[in-house]
Homo-oligomer: A and B are copies of this chain.
């Protein structure tokens, strides 16, 4: 089935203890859409870039089966640019530069042929932009998944809550779940977030895995155990994209299938963190993904 993704397409400059990059391809929409396309969802990306955005990156998205008809190119603007430096433990980072550029006045336009898409994934973006996408759909999609972050909780909490009330699934990290709910216990936090609207809550714990909550059910998927984490940029987006893509690719939104989707998202995120930027995520074969899913599933399988 089809998956409509909205999210940023960006240039990133990243420093980790292992090295640094010049401006490379980044953005939540990029990670989400590449990751979800591997799960055989027909991915349609709505985003915006500037005149400085290189054709090779548009080609890269297309080569990864992402429909880019919905990417607006603002010839006289510059692409969103983010730069960050990770600390030694890779669990925290400093933002060095944020230049919103064309993302600052982004008015998402959903092409007519996308307006009946069954699955909608709202990548991390301003909550009013996310809501504008929902409002352009002809009817409520079968499933709306949203990702967000603490920045929107700090600056636009009322807007954010309005968007949260319109979605089926929310994906946030543990600290964000605590901030949004005011509860320290993640079990209590998920229950508090149910009351805001979503029937399913995903709490990402980075290297410690992810929790999936729905009604009284909880499922936990660990992160893949890796010898080296090279660059965590995009891991959360890749996870959310893998999750949404798995559901759209299979067309099955049962809780049992959501469990498998969380494991799939975790597997895709493990590729992401092994290299700089999108490098770990591009040109994966089905065999690579099958092997990683197998290794990850084995990690928590009791006989």
Contacts and interface: CB of A to CB of B under 8 A. Distances in A.
Interface of A: 89, 184-188, 205, 208-209, 211, 218-222, 225-229, 256, 259-260, 263, 297, 299-303
Q: How many copies does the complex hold?
A: 2
A186 B225 contact: yes
B184 A89 contact: yes
6 contacts: A205-B208, A218-B225, A221-B300, A259-B302, A260-B302, A297-B302
Contact of A300 (B188, B219, B225): B219
B222 A299 contact: no
A187 B302 contact: no
Contacts of A185: 226-229
Nearest to A260: B302
A259 B303 contact: yes
A300 B220 contact: yes
By CB atoms of chain B within 10 A, which of A89, A208, A221, A302 has the most? A302
Contacts of A218: 225, 299
Given A187-B225, A218-B299, A263-B302, A208 B208 contact: yes
A222 B259 CA distance: 15
Contacts of A227: 185, 187-188
Nearest to A219: B299
A48 B208 CA distance: 38
A221 B293 CA distance: 17
A273 to B, nearest CB: 12
By CB atoms of chain B within 10 A, which of A89, A220, A229 has the most? A220
Contacts of A297: 302
Contacts of A256: 303
A287 to B, nearest CB: 20
A263 B300 CA distance: 10
Contact of A222 (B184, B220, B226): B220
A89 B184 CA distance: 8
By CB atoms of chain B within 10 A, which of A209, A222, A259, A303 has the most? A222
A99 to B, nearest CB: 32
Contacts of A263: 302
A301 B263 CA distance: 11
A12 to B, nearest CB: 24
